[in-house]
Structure 1
Amino acid sequence: MTSRFGFHPVALGVRFILELMALVCFGIWAWHVSPAALRYVAAVAVPLAVAALWGVFATPGDASRSGETVIATPGPLRFLLELAVFFGGAAALYAAGVRVPAAVLAGVLVVYHVLSWDRVLWLLKH
């Protein structure tokens, strides 16, 4: 019997929450590293830029998304992009000085990706 956890609606809901958390982490980081005059702009612009890249590059047929894409991206490259966004968010939070929540988030991301091994394998094969 094959696992389908990575494509299960509950797992996709968890993934969506993790995506939002990553974007918030990038916003927190941008707030901390930007000059006072640009903090509000940076705290909005950085997560928006990450979200735009996240949404544009996708692997056609990915059942965890709509299956459609703006720029068709090979699965292994998409997986690297996902790791960069998810773990980049945790790293950004750590760099902003929020160390314990960053470490917890990184741990949750590891567990999520291990449990979603079927989706990871799908990406690596496409």
Structure 2
Amino acid sequence: MGSNPINLAIRFLLELAALLVIGIWGWYESESWIRFVLAFGLPIIAAIIWGIFAVLNDPSRSGKALVAIPGILRLAIELAIFSIATWTLFELGYSNLAWIYGFIVAIHYFISYDRINWLIKQ
């Protein structure tokens, strides 16, 4: 189910939401010019980490990996970025939205059990 087009679309939206929320959090963390660095830099760093470190032949991606890593490490990176996004929603005062986002992430991973098993075996 992890490669189902609807599930992949949900995953993509979750990824975009994570980058957006991390950027918004960065904006509100400072009143000075640093806010621009945080608002744009943190999401860019997260996107670079997400895009560069991958498992070879991952069916939910192109199968290519700029930097090949074990599946369990890839899973940890994904969960870390989604967890940071959930935490930043709490920090911004959107606790209900944080719970909803976290719940959708959990459901996504529950539905993607085949991909999780595949990642753990890699």
Quickly name the TM-score band, shorter chain normalised.
Answer: over 0.9
Instruction: Indicate the residue corresponding to 1:20 in structure 2.
Output: 16
Taking the aligned partners of 1:99 and 1:30, their CA distance within structure 2 comes to 17
Taking the aligned partners of 1:20 and 1:14, their CA distance within structure 2 comes to 10
Matched, 1:7 2:3: yes
Q: 1:97: how far off?
A: 2.0
Instruction: Indicate the residue corresponding to 1:78 in structure 2.
Output: 74
Q: CA RMSD in A?
A: 1.1
Taking the aligned partners of 2:29 and 2:99, their CA distance within structure 1 comes to 20
- In the superposition, the TM-score normalised over structure 1's length comes to 0.91
Contact in 2 for aligned 1:28/1:93 (Cα 8 Å): no
Q: 1:108: how far off?
A: 0.8
Q: 1:115: how far off?
A: 0.9
- In the superposition, the TM-score normalised over structure 2's length comes to 0.94
Q: Structure 2 counterpart of 1:61, which letter? A: N
Instruction: Indicate the residue corresponding to 1:49 in structure 2.
Output: 45
Q: 1:96: how far off?
A: 2.1
Matched, 1:39 2:35: yes
Q: 1:20: how far off?
A: 0.2
Aligned-pair identity (%): 39
Instruction: Indicate the residue corresponding to 1:105 in structure 2.
Output: 101
Matched, 1:125 2:114: no
Q: 1:88: how far off?
A: 1.5
Number of aligned residue pairs:
122
Q: After the TM superposition, which of the residue ranges 87-96 and 17-26 deviates more from structure 2?
A: 87-96
Q: Deviations over 1:52-102 (max 9, x none)?
A: 011010000001001001110100000000100112111122122222111
Contact in 2 for aligned 1:87/1:109 (Cα 8 Å): no
